[in-house]
Structure 1
Amino acid sequence: MSYRSIIGHREQIEAFQRAFARRRIAHAYLLSGLSGIGKRRFAHEVAKMLNCVAGGVDPCDACLSCRKIEHGNHPDVLHVEPEGKFIKIAQIRALQHELSYKPYEGSHRVVIVESAESFHTAAANAILKTLEEPPVSTIFLLLTASPHLLLPTIRSRCQLIRFSPLPAPLIEAELRKRGVPEERSAAIAAIAQGSLGRALDLLENEERLDLRRERIERLLSLSPNRGDEILAFAEVLSKGDDLEDTLTFFETWFRDLLVVRWGGGRPFNLDLEEELLRRAPTCEPSQILTALEAVGRAKEALHQNANRLLTLEDLLLSLATGGEG
């Protein structure tokens, strides 16, 4: 597919191409950005560039090496991802054993670590030793949406590459190429918050759009005097596998209140515009910012394996008290 297949991120692509042309590729990179923003695609294109027989800054996509990487069966491109919630010590030991050998076919061995924030403590310490003394001709690409959850010592061993959210018009254009009507593509692009992967997932799973509206409306119905309703909602959220999405939906709602109250952008939740216009004039900016901070704290606590139910109870009570407007 080559770098041309990547939507956006031209600055990051060109930086890697310049480094490759000058033979100044670092031994480890931390690719940081939203889930679904294109970090995995980018990592695979870097792996192809490093091993392409043509030797140019843009992979040829025709040589055997490029084709193997594209199909996921190149022996020198290794993938590590969480088993369950964590990347475990056994996975890192197996990786270290593999890295004790020279590359089988390519000029570089590339290790792509998905959800790098998921290292178990022992695994994090083990990978740190490898990053401190990297094998020859081995490049590490650590992918994460939450770089602050990695050990500072791991972050310090990597060159940070930030991937910014994609502009909504760019996502809209990609959706329209797929035949999505203009109004619907605009709504999905807004809710996707800069992630093309999220936009495509919403497109394929329309029930998630309905879930977004249902969850936001239920949040707005909460009262601090109805603890039973808060507890019931917290229990529903704690048992679902869509909690991350729900918290993101909440963030979009409070962000939209700021936009409607003070201007400066287009709301994410266009289908809730009437409700936004009704509530925004009664909301103080400090209330909205407090609500956004509460959601952010809950997200971080849950990433650190805090008790789901207690975290959500505290969050919903906080939002019902000061974030509903």
Structure 2
Amino acid sequence: MEHGTWNMEHGPEPAPCSLFLVASSRGEAGVWGLVGQERAVAALERALATGRAAHAYLLVGPERVGKHTLALRLAQALNCEGDSPVHGEPACPEPSRRVEPCDRCEPCRRIAAGIHADVQTVTVEEAEEEDERRKGIHVSQIRELERVTALKPFQGRSRVVIIDPADEMNASAQNAFLKTLEEPPPQVVFVLVTADESRLLPTIRSRCRRLELRTPSVADVEATLLERGVDGERARLLARLSAGRIGWALEVAADPSLLERRGESLSQAGALASMTVAQRLDLAERLAQEYRRRPEALLAELEAWRDWWRDVLIVQAGAEDGVANVDRLPDLRRDAARCDQSEVAAFVRALQEARRYLGENAQPRLVMETLLLEAPMESGQ
């Protein structure tokens, strides 16, 4: 079995940013490979050192700050067979009490490569039909999870199941998973990853040990990029654009074309203010069709729009030093001058709501039409 999309034989490779962090786990990011997450890492190390790891963890925090990476690192630590010293102490005589992954033993390498039999990720399955809406994580996936976790670990000491994003479990899936949490199987650790814990049942949240991951500082992101060989000017720009989302910064540093696509999304965001109602409705239809084919692409587009109009709002408030898209400050000033501040603030909130509605399987075209009709209009239009 592999970690990746829940599939008992095959699954996709881990996200590039996760691999980047896991492979570069020394230095400023620490042994665990996380930037700016010292508190969460310390809590896990204390639990591992005392042999009191929880049967279920809830990793909560903004998108792209390292939640999935931390889940993988925990899986490595639980199954690590390394005999290297830990924190300067003598070699650990009891592998089950290791407080960090060694990165060198066979289990650590297999987990990092996504080929360990006892580490799986349950995630949103791709729609088989082009026009099928995303329906989140299904109850059938949870039933399969129950079957597999009833078995003893095959390769390691612990079976680790990562549910990411956990908030994508639909109501039936959450109710089924709750029963598993109420009577957790032995030698199994569940790790739920979410950027919106409010969408999880309170009874699920109460049965998990909650660890909050915070947004790293821009300075920490820049330092990490410099450590990984990104040149100074580009590292500063990506750190500001990332707004602390270290995963995004690392991914863009590795693939410059992503920054170009983001630029196209920001240009579209700025063009909304001058569009007529008819043009907005036409755009809504096209985006809804795109969502049915590639939901993640539209969610990324909406994220870029949110960042753009939030920057416009910051400029309107007279706090230009706080904008993320520093390379587009003249365009931000243009939109700040031509749009009403209350409309901009309302649209930023509407963008957040639209992402939530899409996650709850609302009709994509209706969501996009409602959203675009709320977009700011330039004064006098």
- Is 2:316 the counterpart of 1:257? no
SS of corresponding position for 1:316: helix
Equivalent position of 1:209 in the other structure: 262
In structure 2, what residue type is equivalent to 1:300?
Answer: R
What residue in structure 1 maps to residue 19 of structure 2? none
Q: CA deviation at 1:71?
A: 2.8
Q: Does 1:219 align with 2:280?
A: no
- Residue in 2 aligned with 1:62? 104
Matched, 1:14 2:63: no
Q: CA deviation at 1:160?
A: 1.9
What TM-score comes out, normalization by structure 2 length? 0.76
1-structure distance, mates of 2:334, 2:170? 46
- When residues 287 and 231 of structure 1 are mapped into structure 2, their CA distance, relative to the original with a 3 A threshold, is closer
1:276 aligns with 2:332: yes
Name whichever of 285-294 and 6-15 sits farther off: 285-294
Q: What percent of counterpart residues are identical?
A: 36
> What's the offset of the Cα at 1:279?
4.2
Cα distance in 2 for residues equivalent to 1:324 and 1:4: 54
In the alignment, structure 1 residue 288 sits paired with structure 2 residue 288: no
- Corresponding residue for 1:50? 78
CA shift, 1:43, in A, is 1.0
Q: Pick the aligned partner of 1:246 from 283, 301, 309.
A: 301
2: CA distance, partners of 1:247 / 1:191? 15
Q: Would you say 1:74 and 2:130 are equivalent positions?
A: no
2:338/2:379 contact within 8 Å kept: no
Stretch deviating more after TM superposition (129-138 or 75-84) = 75-84
Q: Which residue of structure 1 aligns with residue 241 of structure 2?
A: 191
| Equivalent residue, structure 2, for 1:90 | 140
Match of 1:313 in 2: 369
- The alpha-carbon deviation at position 309 of structure 1 amounts to 1.6
Distance 2:335 2:271 in 1: 15
CA deviation string 1:259-293 (max 9, x = no partner): 22232843112222113234436766544332221
C-alpha displacement of 1:16: 0.6
- Give the residue type in structure 1 aligned to 2:279: E
Cα contact 1:76–1:109 (8 A) shared by 2:
yes
Residues 89 and 126 in structure 1, CA contact (< 8 A), matched pair in contact too: yes
Question: Alignment partner of 1:112: what SS?
Answer: strand
Paired amino acid for 2:123: E
SS at the partner of 1:262? coil
Task: Give SS of 1:319's match.
Answer: coil
1:116 has 2:166 as partner:
yes
Question: What amino acid sits opposite 1:9 in the alignment?
Answer: Q
Structure 1 residues 197 and 131, CA gap change in structure 2 (3 angstroms): same
TM-fit CA distance, 1:133? 0.8
**Aligned-partner Cα distance in 2 for 1:188–1:323:** 32
Alpha-carbon distance between aligned partners in 1 of 2:153 and 2:194, rounded to the nearest angstrom: 26
Indicate conservation of the 8 Å contact 1:291/1:323, yes or no.
no
* Distance change in 2, residues 1:87/1:208 (3 Å): same
**Higher mean displacement: 233-242 or 291-300:** 233-242
Aligned CA-pair RMSD: 2.6
Aligned length: 322
Aligned equivalents of 1:150, 1:324: Cα separation in 2:
44
CA-CA distance at 1:149 after TM superposition: 2.2
Q: In 2, distance between residues paired with 1:201 and 1:62?
A: 24
Report the TM-score, using the length of structure 1 for normalisation. Answer: 0.88
What is the DSSP-based 3-state SS (H/G/I as helix, E as strand, rest coil) of the residue aligned with 1:237?
A: helix
Pair 18,322 (structure 1): closer, same or farther in 2 beyond 3 Å: farther
Q: 1:34 and 1:269, CA in 2 relative to 1: closer, same or farther beyond 3 A?
A: same
Task: Give the corresponding residue for 1:233.
Answer: 283
